[in-house]
Structure 1
């Protein structure tokens, strides 16, 4: 019998501001300027959502959720003191003679981060962990805010939305953030420090004095710009050139156009054990007569080959693998790994379908990926930024899929996803919203 789609019951919505806003630092009162790395992602649908699924204790006390929500909200408020741009709002300035636009985050004129509490009354942890791709899709649409569409004005969007969903025997804590404000490294940095504050707050037995709860890795909020640019970057065009612009008396833009629904993609999850990955790495290195190919490069090569094979490309057709790279360590001098914002470049590896699916395709693809990744250095990073500043281009997830012959590998196993605890032990699973799904994106 077909199962009815789960129905989320919204119980409450509010906004969370940094704790004790009046005493916040002078830095939080200044505009948070956007760098070229940030500006690439200015689009409402680049609202990236991730979340962790936790199990309740077998016999939770009667006020379990009320107590948990109070602690989550308070620790979030404390975390936002350190990561205050997440509580801000995007603002823009329309410049004349010549016409151009500049963007920044206002950390003062904002109600704060959005907080939603809801319940899936008939859904269990097992329903989620054992779901098929179809039922998983239905459940995921309920767990995340604006999962499929972002029918909201960009300048009115909360840059951070926390969505807590109560299940019959579990709790899901989801977070969505505007990609132009933070990359994956910064997002999980925030999540890790929020968890750290929650646990410290728990151990302090109600002592919630902000001065008594510090964090082990404060974010570096100073902005980094290529030489000769910033803090405001004037763009001759924007990703919204076809939308109706409205500016208030202060030059702030408000667009009145809503975003169309994104194309729907069937999404599947595949699991690779550490033993399988070790075999892949050994095979790629053995075939390539080297020892330099990493586990990541071997697995990426396998996925790239598999997707290319099922696409049935002609042997002479080119296929591309795109891999985003954390550029903090690539720059000279390097940026701190705690630099908050976007610091991401994209490497491009190209070969033909015939080479990729051929007999030695695994080692060939893995070695090509290795060469491109190790050669991506300070010079390459700055060259890419200079080219973007010369001719700005904005990523648009609504344009449909990537190049039909392309594969893009996202995310990183280096992110500390399962080190986050909120009084319920380790998370059982990490879940991803489908709002930025495209064909060939991994």
Structure 2
């Protein structure tokens, strides 16, 4: 039986939709999707309490997950398809648009394994070594080079049993497949089908995905592809250890968030836009900057910091795009500030102001959110320390119940690839927010003290 450190294989599966339910289908990528072609895969990990034996897991959970996943893929066929990219110019000198292609017999790789790691430690909020989580998330599989195109799987799953303690479900998807909104819709469908044994409840209570390419900007498609170095597509990155980093989760309660908002409003009473999201981001961003200064890693007054997050464009397009549109539909919002300002006593307030102004400028643009779309990525060219945001408090990932109850813990593992944080609605209350961080252990300790001290004032 194959093994990896702390992990023993139970079964490797290939899960396809029921025969004859999908057939040959393709879905062209839009420029919203091609933006993510060269980005690292997205890894998510759900921990569920499951105080049962291995035999109970194999007899009940394994067949139910396999059956329900197959039915779900019938409605979300791109998850089982492959990404097809054409790196070479055709005879007319134009790069052909990438697409998601499904043919009969395509499958999702689903692995079941058993683990002897400490379930309660992994599903905690305290600092834990980042590489400990890596065996629990699946890889996408290798890119395959054909004569004039490259294919790569878009989605994979790994379900790991911690006997008599719990279950983890690791998900990996290529970011060009979809954004968090579509991924959440997929999870709602899968968990509903797993609980009820069929897709009737899903079809009655949810809206199936819309595959029509309602976002139609041919010139933007061409422009984005011309700016993308597709020759680097062959080697997608993967998580490797060991590292010197640890993972921890910080919680801002609704009381904390309201206090932060009051602090901003009291200092900037004429500020037009102050939301929970702006103060959450402003606060954690300033805490990160202060932790670097405390450790002596930021000294120059001219050093710049950038905060990058994505704004969902579905409801802001003209005409609006339905919420169940399948794919990516997000615009980057980038805020830049000098480190000396961000790490100052008043840095949180200034950061919240700039983030709010950045959002307000984009969503209330009189010419629409697509105005100056060609310049969306110009700020990325500025030399600065960049911190990205994964997730949104608007999506309730803690509601994903396969029939064993809601998750004990939800982690965004892919923030380990770069300087990113995750922000999600909390397990305890959707009014609270969880912030996931991956940092060197000394910085995490410094940040924890700064984070907690800042909430006492």
Q: Does 1:354 align with 2:348?
A: no
Question: 2:32 maps to which residue?
Answer: 37
- State how far apart, in whole Å, the 1-side matches of 2:77 and 2:42 are: 18
Tell me by how many angstroms 1:307 deviates: 2.3
1:160/1:133 CA distance change after superposition, 3 Å = same
State the shift of 1:115 in Å. Answer: 0.7
Matched, 1:276 2:256: yes
2:13 alignment partner in structure 1: 14
Residues 91 and 104, structure 1, Cα contact 8 Å, conserved in 2: yes
Q: Partner of 1:183 in structure 2?
A: 179
Q: 1:365 deviation in Å?
A: 1.5
**Take 1:200 and 1:216, find their aligned partners in 2: how far apart are those partners?**
14
CA drift of 1:152 comes to 4.6
1:118 and 2:113 aligned: yes
Shift of 1:35: 0.4
Q: Deviations over 1:380-419 (max 9, x none)?
A: 642354458xxx99x9xxxxxx954222222111112011
Q: Tell me the CA shift for residue 259 of structure 1.
A: 5.4
Choose which of 392, 400, 410 in structure 1 pairs with 2:390.
410
What is the root-mean-square deviation in Å for CA atoms of aligned residues? 3.2
Whole-angstrom distance in 2 between the partners of 1:434 and 1:234: 24
1:366 corresponds in structure 2 to 352
1:383 to 363, 371, 381: 371
Q: Deviations over 1:334-371 (max 9, x none)?
A: 11121110001111112223332334322222111111
User: Which residue in 1 is equivalent to 2:245?
Assistant: 266
Q: Which consecutive residues of structure 1, in runs of 5 or more, have no partner in the other structure?
A: 202-207, 244-254, 396-401
Aligned-partner Cα distance in 1 for 2:236–2:394: 36
Name the structure 1 match of 2:434: none
Aligned equivalents of 1:64 and 1:440: distance in 2? 35
2 CA distance for matches of 1:325 and 1:220? 20
Distance in 1, Cα, partners of 2:353 & 2:220: 38
Which residue number in structure 2 is paired with residue 249 of structure 1? none
Are the counterparts in 1 of residues 21 and 74 from structure 2 also a CA contact under 8 Å?
no
**CA deviations over 1:44-81 (Å, ceiling 9, x no partner):** x6221112111114x55943332211111111111111
Match of 2:278 in 1: 297
CA contact (8 A) 2:239 2:417 kept: no
Q: Distance in 1 between matches of 2:280 and 2:130?
A: 25
Report SS of the residue matched to 2:120. Answer: helix
Cα 1:370–1:347 shift into 2, 3 Å:
same
* Structure 1 residue 6: Cα displacement: 4.7
Aligned mate of 2:298, from 296, 299, 312 = 312
Cα drift, residue 116 of structure 1: 0.8
Alignment check: 8 A CA contact 1:192 1:416 kept: no
**Relative contact order higher in (CA < 8 Å, ≥ 6 apart):** 1
Cα distance per residue 1:236-260 (max 9 Å; x no partner): 46433367xxxxxxxxxxx5x6758
The residue aligned with 2:67 is: 74
Give me the whole-angstrom Cα distance separating, in 2, the residues matched to 1:364 and 1:234.
Answer: 33
User: Comparing both structures, which one devotes a greater share of its residues to strand?
Assistant: 2
> Normalized against structure 2, the TM-score is what?
0.77
For residues 82 and 356 of structure 2, what CA distance do their matches in structure 1 show? 39
* TM-score (normalizing by structure 1): 0.80
TM-aligned CA deviation for residue 118 of structure 1:
0.8
Query: Following the alignment from structure 2 to structure 1, what is the Cα–Cα distance between the partners of residues 182 and 91?
Result: 34
CA pair 220-163 structure 1, distance change in 2 beyond 3 A: same
Partners in 1 of 2:390 and 2:270 — Cα distance? Answer: 26
**Equivalent pair of 1:101/1:234 in contact (CA under 8 Å):** no
Deviates more, 1:77-86 or 1:88-97: 88-97
SS for the counterpart of 1:142 is helix
Distance 2:6 2:218 in 1: 52
What's the CA shift for 1:195?
Answer: 0.7
Deviations 1:276-325 (A, max 9, x none): 22222221222211574112111211122222231424334332221211
Contact between 1:277 and 1:299, CA under 8 Å: does it hold in 2? yes
Question: Is it true that 1:288 corresponds to 2:268 in the alignment?
Answer: yes
Residues 435 and 178 of structure 1, relative CA distance in 2, 3 Å threshold: same
CA shift for structure 1 position 151: 5.5
Question: CA 1:259–1:363 in 2, change beyond 3 Å: closer, same or farther?
Answer: closer
SS of equivalent residue, structure 1 residue 22: coil
Q: How does 1:160-199 map to 2 (within 5 A)?
A: 160-168=155-163, 169-199=165-195
Shift of 1:436: 5.1
Judge which range, 426-435 or 191-200, deviates more: 426-435
Report if aligned partners of 2:40, 2:238 keep a CA contact under 8 Å in 1.
no
Pair 1:232–1:9, CA change in 2 (3 A): farther
Alignment: residue pair count: 399
Structure 2: 5+ residue stretches without partners: 423-457
Distance 1:126 1:268, change over 3 A: closer
**Aligned mate of 2:400, from 411, 420, 423:** 420
1:422 match: secondary structure: coil
